[in-house]
Structure 1
Amino acid sequence: MVTIDPAERLRLIELGKLAMNHFEKQRSFICDPAKDMSDHEKENRVLMRIQNDARKLLVLGDILGDDGKDFLKLGKNAAGFIYLLYNIETDHQTMVKELVDLWTNLQTSTGRCADIIYPAGWSPSETDSDSAVDEEWAAWCADFYLGFGKGTGRRCTFCGGSTPLPRPLLFCGGCKNTVYCDRMCQVMDWKSGHKSSCAKNESGRKECKEEEASAEAA
């Protein structure tokens, strides 16, 4: 394995944290007893996203070694999650190896083939569809190989996702610096710690009270 410089290591760790959050978001939908059981297409797309999250976490866990132990563990859990509930068994080994090998080769390459991995002018689909899931995967590959958010504008602070056009990202009303792809990410981030950091800003104190009430109701 190639030596990873500190900046690249931190970048990959950040991608891993976003992938963990993205998986937790998908899992929360599957485990939500109030979800629409008749919307099988949406449920299938969530399962596709979980499979992609498993690949992300397994790849990053492989590359980062000791720093990626949590990613590797959760990646295996994600794969096991959909097998346990849906009897969907996917062999990630081949794809994970290909992704790791390509990343390794790019570390000694003078160019990163942006137009091949991540077509110029790409933008999220207007609707949630199977093709949208494929586009999300392509976007993550661009983040993985080229750098976070290359050519896509701002991304969700919590899960790393973008939003279907023309809907914009949601800004935190307190700090104004944190953006989310949807309300669910906003609530989950609030519960996982953004409340405390946002409350430190005087401008965010009013928003904190409003968000706290909203998060408790969610």
Structure 2
Amino acid sequence: MSFMPAVPMTADEMTRLRKSGQWLLNHAKKHMELLDEAHRDHADGIEHTHPNRMTLWYNVAQLRAVGEVLGSNGIGRPFTTRGEQLAVLPFMEHGREFVDECVTRLINMFRDRHELEVTRHGAKSGYENELTEEQADPQLRRDYIAWTHEQFWGIPFMMEGVGPKQNCTFCGARSQPHRMLKACGGCKVAIYCDKRCQTMHRKEHKAECKAKAGEIKAEEA
């Protein structure tokens, strides 16, 4: 059953959430690759608290929540569908209940923010005390809280030690004190959190990169 917000979403909200959903799809694809590599490197298996596994748990919750608020039978369907596909995979064995709780909280927070017209000064993500050291490392908690504010709610989130907010062009990873994004060497416009994202985005980005690089050369001539 799709979730309908108490206050209809604006076009800007829908655009923001769809963009976030696409980032989440790419982010999940990247971390599935990383998780597969971790399994190959550890023949005896990996802990259920492995960072890539934990990251994917949150990815699943985020995809399902974004899909629901956009309408799981409408424009949110690709995100809901992918979240449900990932939710039945083996890496979710110890995380399904936790993910279900996260989805419920995210949707309730989205609804409550609309109903109460929460301003950026009074908003809290509800996750400050939920994500304990046992559940996730500090960087993952920081990423998740920032995502809840900025991408899910559309509310600015103050991050100490970081300049202007940036997001990886491919996976949406936010600039953090531990994560400085680097520009594409060709177009100088696309920015990436690591080499893997740049490589995974290369085919899609190639034509745009070539065109932009040509514009830059023309301006410099």
TM-score under structure 1 length normalisation: 0.76
Distance 1:67 1:159 in 2: 20
Go from structure 1 to structure 2 and tell me whether the alpha carbon gap of 1:95 and 1:113 turns closer, same or farther (over 3 Å shift). farther
Q: Which has the higher contact order (CA 8 A, sep 6+)?
A: 2
Task: Confirm or deny: 8 A CA contact 2:168 2:193 kept in the other structure.
Answer: yes
Gaps of 5+ in 1: 120-128, 207-218
Alignment of 1:93 with 2:104, yes or no, is: no
Name the residue aligned to 1:139.
146
* Alpha-carbon offset, residue 37 of structure 1: 2.5
Q: Is it true that 1:48 corresponds to 2:54 in the alignment?
A: yes
Give the TM-score taking structure 2 as reference length.
0.75
Distance 1:178 1:94 in 2: 35
Counterpart among 117, 135, 138 of residue 125 in structure 2: 117
CA contact (8 A) 1:173 1:204 kept: no
Counterpart amino acid of residue 9 in structure 2: I
Matches within 5 A, 1:2-151: 2=5, 3-32=8-37, 36-37=41-42, 40=46, 44-65=50-71, 66-81=74-89, 84-85=90-91, 87-91=93-97, 92-108=99-115, 109-113=117-121, 116-117=124-125, 130-147=137-154, 150-151=157-158
Task: Give the 3 Å change call, closer, same or farther, for CA 131–41 of structure 1 in structure 2.
Answer: farther
- Residue of structure 1 equivalent to 2:198: 186
- Pick one of 195, 200, 216 that aligns with 2:206: 195
TM-superposed deviation, 1:134 = 1.6
- Residue identity in the other structure for 2:171: C
The CA deviation at 1:56 is 0.3
Q: Deviations over 1:196-216 (max 9, x none)?
A: 21112244899xxxxxxxxxx
Match of 1:155 in 2: 167
Aligned pairs, how many?
194
Q: Is the 8 A contact 1:30 1:43 kept in 2?
A: no
CA contact (8 A) 1:29 1:35 kept: no
Name structure 2 gaps, 5 residues minimum.
Answer: 128-135, 160-164
Give 1:76 shift. 1.0
* Cα displacement (A) at 1:113: 4.7
1:37-72 residue CA offsets vs partner (Å, 9 max, x unmatched): 289579800000000000000001111111010100
Match of 1:171 in 2: 183
Q: Tell whether the 8 Å contact from 2:66 to 2:152 is kept in structure 1 after alignment.
A: no
User: Which residue identity lines up with residue 154 of structure 1 in the other structure?
Assistant: Q
- Paired with 2:40 and 2:178, the residues of 1 have a C-alpha distance of 25
Give, as a single letter, the amino acid of the residue that structure 1 aligns with 2:107.
Answer: V
